[in-house]
Structure 1
Amino acid sequence: MTIVSAPYEINVDDVFVDLRPVFSVPLYLKAEGLNLAGSVKLKAALEMVLAAERDGLLSPGDVLVESSSGNLGVALSMIAANRGYGFLCVTDSRCNPASRRLMEAFGARVLVISRPDKERGLLGARLDYVQRLCDFDSRYVWLNQYTNPRNWLAHYRNTGPAIAAQFPELDVLFVGAGTTGTLMGCARYFRERERPVRIVAVDSIGSVSFGGPALTRYIPGLGAGVRPQLLDDSLVDDVVMVPERETLERCHTMARAGFLFGGSTGTVVSGALRWLADHPGSEHLTAVALSPDQGDRYLDSLYDPAWIEEHFGTEGGWPAAAPRPADVRPQLVASTS
């Protein structure tokens, strides 16, 4: 019997999905969303909050504030509710409606930024707002996932060792790049081990993290409009950039196999498949990709035919929009009784 006293104690960290039956490629997917926060961001959120408490930066009555596209905001909302803090999430219009509702259910406030900074996009505008808020009111405490070393340290201490324990012969690890906390933590952990592991970063086209041009992106999670301060390029062996349309295709392919994952996961899987296809002999490698999130929060976006049609058109092979209620006709079923 397992008995917990805090919601973040419910966390399954040793489940890997074999994607060979889905994509006919030897690739294992580490499911990081099997916790009550629903994503890998729970690790960083908890590490940052506990460190702030130990350092005396958080006191009763304080209000946490953070810029987040969704997943970290949900994790901090849950932790703040459990530990007695207020929480304000500063996000933008790309944040999934389900994520906003989850944060509000935990008692958090959600502020949506709609006007991007001319040079640094929506993320830059979010960061500027948080900074001004903290300068104006000392009650607000900004953990700042974009610069906080506890972000990557959580994965150096937990995610990397968990992968190594299950795959001691690991050859290549695929990690999505957002704040790059997960990427840097895993990269540092495996750099210190005797067995070499190739670290491949996966990012969305339109993100500026690895020097590409800033372009419009619709799927929250991975990617950034401002280069992450945590990123150390010397710890990354390869970078794969993925178009968002391909993210959609991978998500829907996995859903048709019964695995409902989020947009960040679809991007990482797509990047891994691209890299493996470009490297002869990859079928003999032990390859693992990190799945940051589950798909239930994307039902109003990635898995909504109307949303897909609005942003990506209708030629993707995903399900067509459902008929309106007036178009549905009842069907008569003969009774055998």
Structure 2
Amino acid sequence: MYANSLVELIGNTPLLHLRSLSNEQRNIRVFGKLECHNPGYSVKDRSALQLLRQAERDYGLKPGWSIVESTSGNMGHALAMLCAIHGYRFICVLDPKTPKANANVVRAFGGQVEMVNQPDETGSYQKKRIAVAKSLAATTPNCINLDQYNNPAAIDAHYYSTGPEIVNQLSGKVDAVVVSASTGSHLSGIARYLKERDSRTHVIGVEPEGSVVFGGVYVPHLQNGSGLSFKPGNILTDLVDETVKVSDRHAFAGCHRLALDEGLLLGGSSGSIAHAARCYVERLNDPANIVLVLPDSGVKYLETIYDDEWLSAHRLHDILRDLDTATEATEAHALALESL
């Protein structure tokens, strides 16, 4: 069997049993939904596809028209890829926090990059990026701003694909799901589907310390793409049972632990999700199947999260030493269990 279009390869991502996060003695099993297996290497492929389909229905989007979107990276990759396939012009609004590799990806697919260099009053670039995207859409002929932050089509993408996939892959036995807040779309779509099927499913929303999707005061952080300086319209907080804010230190340590323990090279949001999951498992008393929606690949972060010099420059070099200590403790615990 083969695909006739790259579009057909979006979705149906694998679910992996994460043994390092599970506790078999208590029958707690943790699984990772590997969204890096989408052709654009992230969960945003699903949202981007649905946003474009909705624009085709609502605006008559056709080849030669332009799409403009504010993004920190993954949505830019997904839209650049899909616009190249469909013959749309893509204008991607980025900021200096975006890894250089992400901008290069957009250009590789023929997209245009517009850079916002001045932060807003919070120290974030997001509000200014969004304003620039809206201005470009208003002044460019046949140009549409998809607005991933407030467009319900992005929620639908995960209500109709990611949520059902998770349930089918575990034969309906889903007790909890841990999802990054991001723009709200995949958290809300997955949560809505799972809650409609079983209201007892525990939904945990995760964001960086300093992000305000779940409230608080905005503080700049190093985690890219998973936090916002405002509350987006696509976040449905009534579907979220528990929220967790994760520090850069714990997020990046989580990334390195996933690489060492599971052979998974993933982005910062996956590290923060893994950290939140570890804390949740520690306090659980009953058996459970827990799904972590792991948003993207770590390939784009080789010069940041996985670079010793970058970690040292941000005073995070000691997380690697802490990991060695944690690994030794884990190995000692495993040996103790084997001797019982």
Say yes or no: TM over 0.5.
yes
* Contact in 2 for aligned 1:8/1:35 (Cα 8 Å): no
Unaligned runs of 5+ in 1: 320-337
Q: Deviations over 1:30-86 (max 9, x none)?
A: 111102111010001001101111223413321110001100100000000000011
Q: Does 1:15 align with 2:18?
A: no
Match of 2:333 in 1: none
Structure-2 residue corresponding to 1:329: none
Q: Which structure 2 segments of 5+ residues have no match?
A: 323-340
Could you tell me how far 1:8 is from its partner in structure 2?
2.4
Q: Find the counterpart in structure 1 of residue 310 from structure 2.
A: 307
Q: Kindly tell me: are residues 189 and 226 of structure 1, through their superposed partners in 2, closer, same or farther at Cα, counting changes over 3 Å? A: same
Query: Which deviates further from its counterpart, 120-129 or 22-31?
Result: 22-31
Q: Distance in 2 between matches of 1:304 and 1:139?
A: 42
Q: Is the 8 A contact 1:66 1:144 kept in 2?
A: yes
Alignment partners' CA distance in 2, 1:109 and 1:9: 25
Query: In the alignment, which of 216, 236, 251 is matched to residue 232 of structure 1?
Result: 236
Task: Return the offset for 1:10.
Answer: 2.0
1:141 corresponds to 2:152 = no
Deviation at 1:306, TM superposition (A): 1.3
CA offsets 1:257-290 (integer angstroms, 9 cap, x no match)? 321111121111111212222x3315x1111110
Deviations 1:117-168 (A, max 9, x none): 1147211111111122222223321011011100000000000000111221
The one-letter code sitting in structure 2 at the alignment partner of 1:238 is: E
1:82-140 CA distance string (max 9 Å, x none) = 00011011011221222211111101112222211114721111111112222222332
- Is the 8 Å Cα contact of residues 123 and 219 (structure 2) preserved in structure 1? no
Report how far residue 6 of structure 1 moved: 2.1
Deviation at 1:218, TM superposition (A): 1.5
Which segment is superposed worse, 6-15 or 100-109?
6-15
Distance change in 2, residues 1:235/1:12 (3 Å): closer
The amino acid across from 1:141 in the alignment is I
Q: 1:148 to 1:315 in 2, by over 3 A?
A: same
Amino acid aligned to 1:246: H
Higher helix share: 2
RMSD: 1.8
Could you say which residue in structure 2 is the equivalent of 1:121?
124
8 Å Cα contact 1:262/1:298 also seen in 2: yes
Match of 1:100 in 2: 103
Report the 3-state secondary structure (helix = DSSP H, G, I; strand = E; otherwise coil) of the residue aligned with 2:4. coil
Where in structure 2 are the equivalents of 1:20-39 lying within 5 Å? 20-21=19-20, 26-39=29-42
Secondary structure of the residue aligned to 1:229 is coil
Cα distance in 2 between the residues matched to 1:108 and 1:273: 39
1:213 to 202, 214, 217: 217
Query: For 1:138, what is the secondary structure of its paired residue?
Result: coil
Structure 2 length-normalised TM: 0.88
Name the structure 1 match of 2:186. Answer: 182
SS in 1 for 2:205: strand
1:106, 1:6 → 2: CA distance? 16
Q: Quick check: 176-185 or 48-57, which moved more?
A: 48-57
Q: Give the Cα–Cα distance (whole angstroms) in 2 for the partners of residues 241 and 85 of structure 1.
A: 37
Q: Is the 8 A contact 1:113 1:125 kept in 2?
A: yes
CA distance in 1, matches of 2:278, 2:302: 24
Partner residue, 1:332: none
Q: What letter matches 2:100 in structure 1?
A: P
Q: Which residue, out of 244, 264, 270, partners 2:269?
A: 264
State the partner residue of 1:83.
86
Task: Say whether the 8 Å CA contact 1:171–1:287 is kept in structure 2.
Answer: yes
**Cα distance change on mapping 1:45 and 1:14 into 2, 3 Å:** closer
Counterpart in the other structure of 2:328: none
> What's 2:278 paired with?
273
Distance 2:254 2:175 in 1: 23
Note closer, same or farther for the CA distance 1:228–1:195 as it changes in structure 2 (3 Å cut): closer
Work out the CA distance in 2 between the residues paired with 1:105 and 1:199: 37
CA contact (8 A) 1:93 1:113 kept: yes
Alignment-mate amino acid for residue 226 of structure 2: L
Q: Distance in 1 between matches of 2:321 and 2:83?
A: 38
Taking every aligned residue pair, what percent have the same amino acid on both sides? 33
**TM-score, scaled relative to structure 1:** 0.89
Q: Distance in 2 between matches of 1:83 and 1:36?
A: 15
Distance 1:29 1:60 in 2: 37
Alpha-carbon offset, residue 204 of structure 1: 0.7
Compare 250-259 and 141-150 and name the one that shifted more.
250-259
Aligned length: 316
